[in-house]
Amino acid sequence: VNINSYGKAYIARWVKIVPPEQNKLNQNFFKLPAKWAQSDALMKNFETNVSKIPDNIWRSILIESNNQKNFSDTPFVYSNENSVNIKKIIGSKAVFDVDCKDRNCWFVYNIAALRGWNAYSGSQKISIHKANLGFIGIQLNQGKHFLWLEYRPFIRDVSLIITLIGWIFITFNLFFIRNNGELRYRSL
């Protein structure tokens, strides 16, 4: 497995917390114009948000958070001693060893922060934030963490239920035949 071919994971060095309302991509889909992806207002909003990230600091990120205790007028700067080691990335699962030496730190995984991603530190579920307007960002407390992410969208469960209902219907029809409104057992 070539780990370098997958999304990159790192601990942020410079973090600015912004409220989700500042990102127009978070607006209700039905309130957006038909060509919203090409709109000048959306591009200007994107450029405004991205311009908040400094070019001269590697691993700089914006985090979208509703948590008021995370907000600060000045960005948070973390040490270079924090580390992450990619253990395994297989399809919809990713496993990492994270060592957070600061009081807390922000883990970033460069993969789309779609609904359906769940994050766990050990066996405890933790919340996912958007990092840099669309990637996965997770705030971790000081210490070593066995961090794993799992992608399980809601549609997967719905499609499984529909498939099972279909197989039950087919199985029922294989073993029973309707004849004049009566159910008779059909031997194979």
- Kindly tell me if the per-residue pLDDT of 38 is higher than 80: no
CA distance 102 to 104: 5
Token look-up 């500042």 returns 22
Q: State the pLDDT confidence band at 57, using cuts at 50, 70 and 90.
A: confident
- Kindly tell me if the per-residue pLDDT of 148 is higher than 90: yes
Task: At 134, list the tokens.
Answer: 């669309």
Neighbour tally for 55: CB within 10 Å = 7
Higher-confidence position of 187 and 74: 74
> So what's the pLDDT on residue 164?
94
pTM for the structure as a whole: 0.72
Amino acid at 70: N
